[in-house]
Amino acid sequence: MKLTLGFSPCPNDTFIFDALIHHKIDTEGLDFSVDYQDVETLNQNAFGGKLDITKLSYHAFAYAASDYELLDAGSALGFGVGPLLITKSEKLAAQLRASLSSGDTAGMDGLRVGIPGKYTTANFLLGLAFPRLQNKQEMVFSDIESSLLTEQIDVGLIIHENRFTYQEKGLHKVVDLGDYWERETGCPIPLGGIVIKRSLDQEIKHKVNRLIRKSVEFAFANPKSGLDYIRSHAQEMEESVMYKHIELYVNAYSVNLGSEGRQAIQQMFDKAVELGVIPPLKKELFLTRA
């Protein structure tokens, strides 16, 4: 049986799925047709139910939960892994940090903000921390740093490998929104998860979850096995940066969410519903455990 599978070309995703799609583990009769896309394209595709299995942002999952349910394997959660709000101006960075501490956000309305997508979890967290930053411009995540340097935007919300490179370009951190979330809730930050079509047979859903878990476990046991594959999709990233990226986003929660991971995700959704950021959810989020 062949299933369609979408994930990003970023090192954390290619690290997770290498063993699965290249049959380094027994795939139990399943084959996968892979669609590589940036996170916001994956989100938009999920809204249309385009793929059988897909990576998406947790924020976007709120709008796709009628068609998909969340697997326990493959997620990106953790402490100290949040998106960063950055700027070219050291003075503006200091002003924004002070406003976050004081709660006085007057004068922010006109700031131009580059975001990696409306439905990214990064944008959701930005809305919690800086609700008055509404002058947002959606762009491909890899273009945000250059847009800051050319002053097309005033502040930028960066994700993925850019968190390792922005300082080299003379840019300044305002806040790590993951740290902000952790201080507010005490929970790890849910960034992205792997969802599967509700319409698929229950046995297939559990098989896919089991295979993704085995793929992650294989990657941890053989971390260099997929190096050529990971590098081929990593936008000329240095190997050391690739593995920093992987270490940051792939961890025990990627093997299995467990009760702590599920609790963090549920808390995020409960908070978002409470604030009116997303509509009330009518379906159970998580795949029923086998």
Question: Active site includes 160?
Answer: yes
**Residue 82 near residue 219, CB atoms below 8 Å:** no
Q: What is the dihedral of CA 154, 146, 116, 50, to 10 degrees?
A: 150
Q: Which of 22, 23, 59, 160 is catalytic?
A: 160
- State the binding site: 55-57, 121-122
Distance CA 281, CA 67 (A): 12
Burial call 175-189: b when 16+ CB within 10 Å, e when fewer: bbbbebbbeeeebbb
Question: DSSP labels for 132-144?
Answer: T---EEE--GGGH
**Residue 194 near residue 17, CB atoms below 8 Å:** no
Question: DSSP labels for 212-275?
Answer: HHHHHHHHHHSTTTTHHHHHHTSTT--HHHHHHHHHHH-SHHHH--HHHHHHHHHHHHHHHHHT
**Residue 186 near residue 260, CB atoms below 8 Å:** no
What order do you get walking across the sheet with 172-176 strand by strand? 136-138, 113-115, 155-158, 84-87, 172-176
- State the binding site for substrate: 55-57, 121-122
Q: Which positions are catalytic?
A: 160
